Amino acid sequence: MKQEIYLDNAATTKPTKAVVQEMVQCLEHIYGNPSSVHRLGVEAERVVTRAREAVAGILKANPKEVIFTSGGSESNNLAIKGAAYALAKRGKHIITSEIEHSAVYSLCQDLEEDGFEVTVLPVDKEGIVQTNDLKAALREDTILVTIMYVNNETGAIQPIEEIGKVIDAAKEANKIPLWHVDAVQALGKIPLYPAKMGINMLSLSAHKAHGPKGIGALYISKGTPLHPQISGGGQEMGLRSGTENVPAIAGFRAAVSDFKEMQQDAKHMAKLRQMLVEGILKNIPDTRLNGLPPGNEQAAPHIANISFTGVRGEVLLHSLEGEGIFTSTGSACSSRKAVEHRVLNAMGLSNEEMEGAIRFSFNAQNSEEEVVIVIEKLKEIVKELRSFA
């Protein structure tokens, strides 16, 4: 069988066996509607309740503060639009950053067309938002700050604790901003305690952490004003109508039940990242790491973005694919569109560096042997591609 080295885990991960089994069991046997009052409905409702408790458990939150959505994009939309319209009478200013996922970035652009004013914070050359910029941007009419936890293209972990302190200070000075965090790339890699940090809303997606696609959650702290974005039967505490996706919710629970080994897994992935980054930078000339170096505590363990100057990222991606190695040129949603490098551009990369960028992203099942193979193949392929240039 041809080798398959999957290094595109920031795009999506493979569901575990336990997740698949849980979903199949649910599809076969627990087919009632959780809103139905008969036994089959009650059984389905029990599955949803158990999953809500499990997701709340990993966040150290109250289950009443967790609602299920169709994924990270919907959670971001509900949080941002929901808060913007709930608070529009008090202010219309929103703060976000240049490196947000398009589910946040484009949504903020849409809101601008709808009369909201958006300040987009820059990042430094390593892709980190500066808290001083946030401090300077906060105003009396700022109703929402939305800044991600881990960037999906570079793995840069944002200074969430310090951001929280700035927002707390603003609240003490009678400002009113709600705080939303897109934690989609942090799930299963970094412990997330939104209540402890004073976060009002936090978005999650199951498929980035070995759960199924099309299911996510939004943590909403008690008392956070939010306008629902889908009207209907009033499911999910009135905030997200629509019959719950019970099999996917069951799969999400199975995925989060595996987080017991999170620390060990993160250590293993960080080791692989270090091997890959050092192996490439040492052995292949004209390469650069876009983001923080191994060992830096603001570098997520699972993502490494590297530029191979003079090589087109897309061509390199397909050459690697020919060897059974799966990577990405950027975020999954934009990598099929004309290549757009908003995040790398914000970090100040040259056009050539952006065009030659490849994202490698790990899961805990990747091995050191795989990394050795990838480095060897890269050495050959990059040399060959450069010889054509």
Ligand X SMILES: Cc1ncc(COP(=O)(O)O)c(C=O)c1O
Chain residues in the site for ligand X (CB under 6 A): 71-73, 76, 101, 103, 148, 152, 182, 184-185, 205, 216, 331-333
CB of residue 251 vs ligand X: minimum separation in angstroms? 13
Q: How many helices (H) and strands (E) does the chain have?
A: 13, 12
The smaller minimum CB distance to ligand X, of residues 72 and 291, is found at 72
Q: How far is CA 226 from CA 66, 78, 79, 101, 240, in A?
A: 13, 8, 7, 21, 11
Nearer of residues 30 and 346 to ligand X, judged by Cβ: 346
Closest CA to 353 of 311, 381, 317: 311
User: What are the DSSP calls for 116-173, one per residue?
Assistant: -EEEEE-B-TTS-B-HHHHHHH--TTEEEEE--SB-TTT-BBP-HHHHHHHHHHHHHT
Are the C-beta atoms of 382 and 286 separated by less than 8 Å? no
The nearer residue to ligand X, 80 or 382, going by C-beta atoms, is 80
Give the nearer residue to ligand X in terms of CB position, either 152 or 305. 152
Cβ-proximal residue to ligand X, closest one: 72
What is the closest distance, in whole angstroms, from the C-beta atom of residue 72 to ligand X in the complex?
Answer: 2
- Give the nearer residue to ligand X in terms of CB position, either 45 or 100: 100
Give residue 239's Cα distance to chain centre: 22
Q: Cβ of residue 58: shortest distance to ligand X, in angstroms?
A: 17
> Long-range contacts of range 321-326, CB-CB < 8 Å, 24 or more positions apart?
323/3, 323/377, 323/381, 324/2, 324/3, 324/4, 324/5, 325/5, 325/7, 325/373, 325/374, 325/377, 326/4, 326/5, 326/6, 326/7, 326/8
Residues with active-site annotation: 333
Least Cβ distance, residue 78 to ligand X (angstroms): 12
Shortest Å, Cβ 150 to ligand X? 7
